[in-house]
Amino acid sequence: MIRHITLENWRAYRNLDLDVDPGTTFLVAPNGVGKSSLLEAIRWALAAGHVDQRASMVRQGHAQASVSVTLDVPQGELAVTRSLRIVRSRLAAETVATLDGRPVDEAEASRLLEASWSADARFVSRTAFLTEDLRRDGDDPNLRTHLCRAYSLDDLQRAIAEIEPVLTQLSRSLKASRAELSGTRDQLNAAADELGTLTLGVAAARENVESARAAHAQARAALDEARAAAVLRAGAAGWRESHERLLAAAVPVVGQLPPETPLADALVDLEGRLGAQVDEVRARHAALRARLDAAETSLATLHDAEAACPVCLRGLDDESRERAEELHRANLEAVRADLAQLDDSAVTAALDTVRRLTREAATLGPPPPEPDVDDLDARVDAEAAALAVLEAAVAGQREAEMKAQAGLTRVEAIRADIEAADALTERYRAEALLEAGKAALHQTVTAVLGRQLQPLAAEVNRRWDAVFPDRPNLHLTPDGELSRMIDGTPLEFGAFSAGEQTVAKLMMRLTTLLATTTVPFCWIDEPLEHLDPVSRQLVGSTLAHLSATGGLEQIFVTTYEEPLARRLAELQPGRVRVQYLRTAPSS
């Protein structure tokens, strides 16, 4: 049971400290004061993560709000404080809890609450609190899930939950597979026969390519041979032309040669003879030069000998000396005359020319072979024709291989279709088994819940009849759906009036809390607002009596119906009380 509530900077509240007693409490305040904000604060604090948080929860002008709720649990007094901070336009929530003053973490606090309530926090937040938002919200408490937990049907419900995604995925896969499969065994046989024919075509095309490649190689070899012969013949023609030029240059030097005499041999022979002539001239020149030197030496010696013979040292008279000098000068003039007449320039020039021609002849070498040349143009045309045949054969082979590959792909696709069809049969069988299993589990859960729900549904209907005796037959399903039978025709909950919807949801929540949980409280925001005066009186009396022995320990009702609240409090003093709410103005 909730004992105390503290709010700080929560919506319109600057500070609020509120003690909550057992029994039924009518919190009276005019509209806009913050009655709904109080219930929202408690829900947000006790159901962390299950209630949306918004920046508007923090009082304007402040950066943080906090809600503290103190409750009784079997283990002691549990205090839960939850804070909401605005940090850079983002919201951050934090929960702090203590058990009899000892700190406990958020998970442990949640476990203690759910254990004391025999229900999860989300279900309690949507069942033990009825606010304006929850009245409008189509997401009512998941009664089926809660009842499965309460009646130990969780395993069956989990099995259904596990089957559903598998079944959904399998159904989608089957639908897609049905659309894709088209192959038959007759199509497979026809495609296999066609593939055999195409495979033979590929073999024939490859043989054509090999034959065309051999023919092209032969034509290419013949073309290469003809081109090589043409190159040799052109080389021989060039040699002849060079030989003619060399021969024309050599004839003035060597003379006209016999046809059978090689030019190189004639030039070598002439080079030897001219070399000998040059050597002979140079030897004679050296001898004459020696004689000239000797004569000039003898004459000089005769002058320096002072009338003595330079050889025998015998004295000479003037006549003898003059005669001797005359003889020496005559000899000297004769040697000089011989040297002047001795000229080797012509022979040397001829030798240089012959040597140059000899080198050119050696470079030119012997005459190259001069083979016969076939018609080169014809060889070129033959090779081009063979190449065209080869290219056509290769293209034919490629086309045959592509057709064979396409045929193989079609055979594989049809075979895969047939295999997939066989597998599809098994998957259909699996789908049918899953569908049957799901239906059996769902039927079992529904049947069990239907039996267990009968007392709960009867109690909801009884409380409904107490408020609307002229509108009987309120029906509650295990899924928490409400309807009402009118002349055998169901009236859906959406067609109820606002007052009828409020009472139906209120009665379902109150009865569910009493019958399937150990939650000791129920907080209701303005349940009397949309009711006519008689229904308002009946609902208020029901809420006042539900906190009596055997009912809920604590019922907290916000309302602006002060006269009705005071009358109910006067009828049950000590169990029903009226409190008034005041808040500081927003700033």
CB-based burial, 263-296: b 16+ in 10 Å, e otherwise: bbebbeebbeebeebeeebeeeeeebeebbeebe
The pLDDT of residue 329 is 79
- Return left, alpha or beta for 49; rule: phi > 0 is left, psi -120 to 50 is alpha, else beta: left
3-state DSSP assignment of residue 53: coil
For residues 476 and 484, what is the distance between their CA atoms, to the nearest angstrom? 9
Would you say residue 273 lies in a domain?
no
Which residues of the chain fall short of a pLDDT of 70? 133-157, 170, 174-183, 257, 259, 302-317, 321, 420-422, 424-425, 427-428, 431, 441-442, 445-453, 548-550, 582-587
Would you say residue 13 lies in a domain?
yes
Would you say residue 202 lies in a domain?
no
The pLDDT of residue 587 is 43
The pLDDT of residue 532 is 86
Would you say residue 60 lies in a domain?
yes
Phi, psi of 257 (to 5 degrees): -95, 150
For residues 270 and 267, what is the distance between their CA atoms, to the nearest angstrom? 5
Q: How many domains does the chain have?
A: 1
Torsion of CA 548, 554, 559, 562, to 10 degrees: 50
Phi, psi of 564 (to 5 degrees): -65, -45
For residues 98 and 73, what is the distance between their CA atoms, to the nearest angstrom? 12
- Which residues lie closer than 8 Å to 413 by C-beta, 6 or more apart? 183
Dig out the tokens for 362 from the structure.
Answer: 């050696």
Would you say residue 146 lies in a domain?
no
Would you say residue 400 lies in a domain?
no
Q: Which of 335, 332, 326 is nearest to 295 (CA)?
A: 332
Would you say residue 45 lies in a domain?
yes
The angle subtended at Cα 507 by Cα 506 and Cα 510, nearest 5°, is 85
Q: What is the CATH number of the domain that holds 125?
A: 3.40.50.300
Surface-to-core class of residue 532, CB atoms within 10 Å of its CB (0-12 exposed, 13-18 middle, 19+ buried): exposed
| Contact assessment for residue 475 and residue 490, using Cβ atoms and an 8 Å cutoff | yes
Domain range spanning residue 109?
2-141+480-580
Would you say residue 361 lies in a domain?
no
Phi, psi of 422 (to 5 degrees): -65, -45
For residues 406 and 312, what is the distance between their CA atoms, to the nearest angstrom? 128
The pLDDT of residue 471 is 86
